Chain A
Amino acid sequence: MRSFALASVFLSLVSTAVCADESNLTKPLSSKFLLPSAFKPPQVFKNTNLVHVVNLEKSYPKESINVVIENTASSPQDEYYLPFTTRQMETIGALEVKDRKAPESGLFEVEAAEIDPESDTQYYRIRLPKPLAPKAQQTLGITYHFLSALDPLPATIQQKENQYLVYTFSAYCPSAYVTLKQKTEVKFPTTNIREHTVIPGTGKEPQSPQIQGTKYTYGSFGEVPAGAYEPVRVRYEFTKPLIHVSRLERDIEVSHWGGNLAFEERYTMTNRAANLSAGFSRTQFAQDAYYNPQSPAIKELKFPLRVGSLTPYFTDVIGNVSTSRFRSNKREANLELKPRYPVYGGWNYPFRVGWDADLKKFLRKLTTGDGYVLNAPFLEGPKQPEGVEYELVELRVILPEGATNLKYSTTVPVVSESITMHKTFMDTIGRTTLTLTSINVVDDLRDREIIVTYDYPFMAGLRKPLVIFSGVLSLFVAAWAIGSLDVAIKARSS
């Protein structure tokens, strides 16, 4: 018993330590390798053609760079560097690189590199799967997004006003190499663009941007040296919420006995939209709901769950939230949640949702041995037209007690992983738990999956019934033994 107590104390210490680490989120958690502080990427590449697309249709900027690179060195090269500012490095998420010509060949290995914490320029190092021969060319497709990069201006608005967002970026795509030809396209959600930077044309280049509906194009520009920066600031209408989840804890619990897969998600949600300049007026809200449904308030969250999900719940810290609907049939299982109050800019609404699913749809037994394969979605948050951003996602996969030999794979970038024991209902040794942490995730990654394989011997499944049986048995024996003791002071008359 004492060893249990000690172990639990130790575990709680560990968990608090982990929590303390995680609460400090100003720095990205991504793995880094240090480079000398005077590091400059070797000028071994040039960008012959580059198209930079900035997509502002959602509540976070989504950028992609399609670039044709050419090896200018005399030896084959495989390290391509991509520069970002320190601020961007903290909020960048899901940087993925693939060969545009052969997208099916998979993602390239990408690693964040830190040279000097004081420096404003940091690098991502992209390792090409095959070193690029001298003079050879390759087309890279680089995609990423930034979190918390759009800011409302003015920062406070009235309840029925439109909201405008500001985004600043460079007209010249940031690059560590010389770029021969490039252009930057900006996609806006509406045509209501209040401000944009105009870059005057030079002799052979026209004035930027060229406007086609909601698409603004800067460039094309001619040869630009490495590290060139031309700030562009746009301010555009976006009367939708900026849903920001600062922390999502997602648990997936496997129960072999119950044939059940239980999901639970705990959201710490904020709306980053413009704050209300005056108090919230219910009258105004009721009228706006009728005349002008667009608003920067979060009124509803839609969770399209896997078909066959059942028994959902939606609670917050003071109990069940009665304003939710669950539509489930053969083709869909939609969970529609309404927060208790419309979440306006600057307001918070932490909540918790959970549901069950049939284990058979997610788990398969391997034909040989005691192995099982679990295939579940990594992320299943709300699917909103304006998008959702997650600062930190902590996924826990709780396997049954006694599961061993745990392995996992996922395409979502993971910054930390650990395997611990989770002790809960009547466990003796605790359930094997895989904890994965991922930062700067957006709802585009909804469809990514996590695949976990583990061994679960037959006897491990019988552990709990046997423990309970022996516990009750020992209780009876103890009761019988105590009951048959004679504790009377005077001698029993027989």
Chain B
Amino acid sequence: MICPRCAHDTVDTVTTSPVPGVWDVLQCVRCLYMWRTTEPDRRTRREAYPVEFRMTQADIDAAPEVPVVPPLRVG
């Protein structure tokens, strides 16, 4: 299992369905993308994941802070 959005290979199981065995909710530890295993392929499979929503480590590193962390007030 890799992240559909950033292709990272470490994925956590966040929760499982209250009815056993129906679905899991998974999360990429790198880009934090979260998905349910029963969602359509366009949200769950790397090869079907839309190009415009894909993310890379460089994207994460370059992401701007919103809002910007202000300087610490001294004294």
Do A and B pair up? The answer is no
